[in-house]
Chains A and B, each alone.
Chain A
């Protein structure tokens, strides 16, 4: 079964708007990572947030982590058409022996 589950499954917004994607997971983690996948390509790492961190920024990306609720969110501010992609959260469970577990992803469409 999947450790991380993203919500919503699909999101459609206009350029300039903010996009928020959520991820929930089931077990204790060492870290949580977000990846982007453009159509027909491999996944690209965006941000890694450790279990003792609450928030992390990278350019227009902001990730939060709430370990008490076992949830994380990815915020993309001032979205662009080039942000159109699928976004995946992945968790590194404690005692998971390198088994990074991915959710099913959120498909983001940003319209010009």
Chain B
């Protein structure tokens, strides 16, 4: 099915472990984004990518790493997970820049760091 898929849907990990959240879109959208959603903060942008091999930091990038070797995939890695990274993570894509296009969101990954 066309759309944007995130995996896993739920993840529990321990402090200090590396964890990768996956995001795959079938629209061939140029732009992809990672947001985290926490109570009281709304959604905050972690990283975004304007095209394959082009990534840039958002509002809260510390502790996260992204890559985009293929247009359709945009994985997010927590190199050494901390409890403060417990959150719901949303991947999104858009056809053009946010100046002109809406975002299409996945259903999120709920990450718990113990």
Residues in chain A within 8 A of chain B (CB atoms): 2, 30-31, 33, 35, 40-45, 48, 88, 90, 92, 96-105
Contact = CB atoms under 8 A, between A and B. Distances in A.
Contact of A43 (B31, B40, B50, B103): B103
B102 A33 contact: yes
Interface residues of B, number: 28
30 contacts: A2-B42, A30-B98, A31-B99, A31-B100, A40-B107, A41-B107, A41-B108, A42-B107, A43-B103, A43-B105, A44-B105, A45-B102, A45-B103, A88-B43, A90-B103, A92-B98, A97-B56, A98-B50, A98-B97, A98-B98, A99-B48, A99-B98, A100-B98, A100-B103, A101-B45, A101-B59, A102-B35, A102-B42, A104-B41, A104-B42
B75 interface: no
Contacts of B99: 30-31, 92, 98
Contact of B31 (A33, A98, A101, A103): A98
B60 to A, nearest CB: 11
Given A31-B99, A42-B90, A92-B98, A102 B105 contact: no
Contacts of B58: 99
Across chains A and B, which 6 residue pairs bring their CB atoms closest together, nearest first? A42-B105, A45-B102, A102-B43, A104-B42, A100-B98, A92-B98
Contact of A103 (B42, B103, B106, B108): B42
Contacts of A90: 43, 103
A99 B105 CA distance: 15
Residue of A35, A43, A102 with most partner-chain B CB within 10 A: A43
Given A99-B58, A104-B40, A43 B90 contact: yes
